[in-house]
Amino acid sequence: MTVMDRAPRDEGGMTSEAYRALMRHQAGAVTVVATGRGAGRAGLTATAFSSLTDDPPTILVCIQRTAGAHDIIAKARAFSVNILASDQQDVAERFAGKVGVRGAARFEGHAWGELATGAPVLAGALANLDCELSEQHGFATHTIFIGRVVDGRMRAAADPLLYFRGDYWNIGQK
Ligand SMILES: Cc1cc2nc3c(=O)[nH]c(=O)nc-3n(C[C@H](O)[C@H](O)[C@H](O)COP(=O)(O)O)c2cc1C
């Protein structure tokens, strides 16, 4: 028999803590969402990313309202989603605030370029999706940014960086 642990609940139902414990079990791609230009650039590590439609080519990302990049995405109306390769864990940690740098300083030490929209795109990422902001919808602490993908690049021979149970994983070579 497969033993499964029931997530704890209290009188109010599912707690945030129990929800987070459940969500730790979703293995996902790690991305860096980046926006702005020059000294006005900002970005953050994000796993709340999904394809929305392929016609038109559209993705969504969920960004906390307090993130440095949040208001800049809304103002610039453009952003990139950079799907990280397994050799880019240092970038994920940097853009998750783990090394104490914020704003444009997060872009130092790695090669960034630009595609059609001018949003920063990371060299060596598994894929760069260059997006124009189509719509945004606020919900509680976060905003869902819906982006029309207008340009992109991909790196053929590379593995993804994954996040699962609070840690980074590499699925290795096939
Ligand atoms: C693996 C991982 C995934 C994350 N995913 C998201 C996400 O999807 N959306 C989000 O708003 N923050 C996410 N975060 C948190 C942000 O990366 C972090 O709070 C970052 O420091 C926000 O940028 P700021 O310091 O400019 O506010 C994630 C962090 C980690 C480590």
Q: Are 33 and 47 in contact (CB under 8 A)?
A: no
Q: Are 123 and 110 in contact (CB under 8 A)?
A: yes
Residue nearest to atom 14 of ligand 1 (CA): 46
Share of the chain above pLDDT 90, in %: 90
How much is the average pLDDT of 109-117? 98
Q: Are 9 and 18 in contact (CB under 8 A)?
A: yes
DSSP, collapsed to helix, strand or coil, labels residue 55 as coil
Give CA–CA dist 56/89, Å, rounded: 31
How much is the average pLDDT of 3-29? 90
Mutate to test the pocket of ligand 1, among 30, 31, 44 (most ligand atoms within 8 A of CB): 44
How much is the average pLDDT of 110-134? 98
- Does the Cβ of 46 fall within 6 Å of ligand 1? yes
Give CA–CA dist 82/72, Å, rounded: 17
Q: Are 43 and 72 in contact (CB under 8 A)?
A: no
Distance 90 CA to ligand 1 centre (A): 14
Q: Give all domains of the chain, ordered by start, each with its CATH number.
A: 29-165 (2.30.110.10)
- Does the Cβ of 35 fall within 6 Å of ligand 1? no
Q: How confident is the model at residue 8 (pLDDT cuts 50, 70, 90)?
A: confident
pTM of the model: 0.96
Distance 44 CA to ligand 1 centre (A): 5
Distance 3 CA to ligand 1 centre (A): 32
pLDDT tens digits, residue range 29-55?
999 999 999 999 999 999 999 999 999
- Does the Cβ of 62 fall within 6 Å of ligand 1? yes
pLDDT value at residue 173: 54
H or E element in which residue 90 lies? helix 89-95
Q: Are 36 and 172 in contact (CB under 8 A)?
A: no
Cβ partners under 8 Å of residue 21, min gap 6: 7
Share of the chain above pLDDT 70, in %: 99
- Does the Cβ of 30 fall within 6 Å of ligand 1? yes
Distance 2 CA to ligand 1 centre (A): 33
Q: How confident is the model at residue 174 (pLDDT cuts 50, 70, 90)?
A: low
Give CA–CA dist 102/51, Å, rounded: 28
- Residue 56 preceded by cis peptide, ω within 30: yes
Mutate to test the pocket of ligand 1, among 23, 47, 81 (most ligand atoms within 8 A of CB): 47
pLDDT tens digits, residue range 62-90?
999 999 999 999 999 999 999 999 999 99
Structure tokens at 99: 């090394």
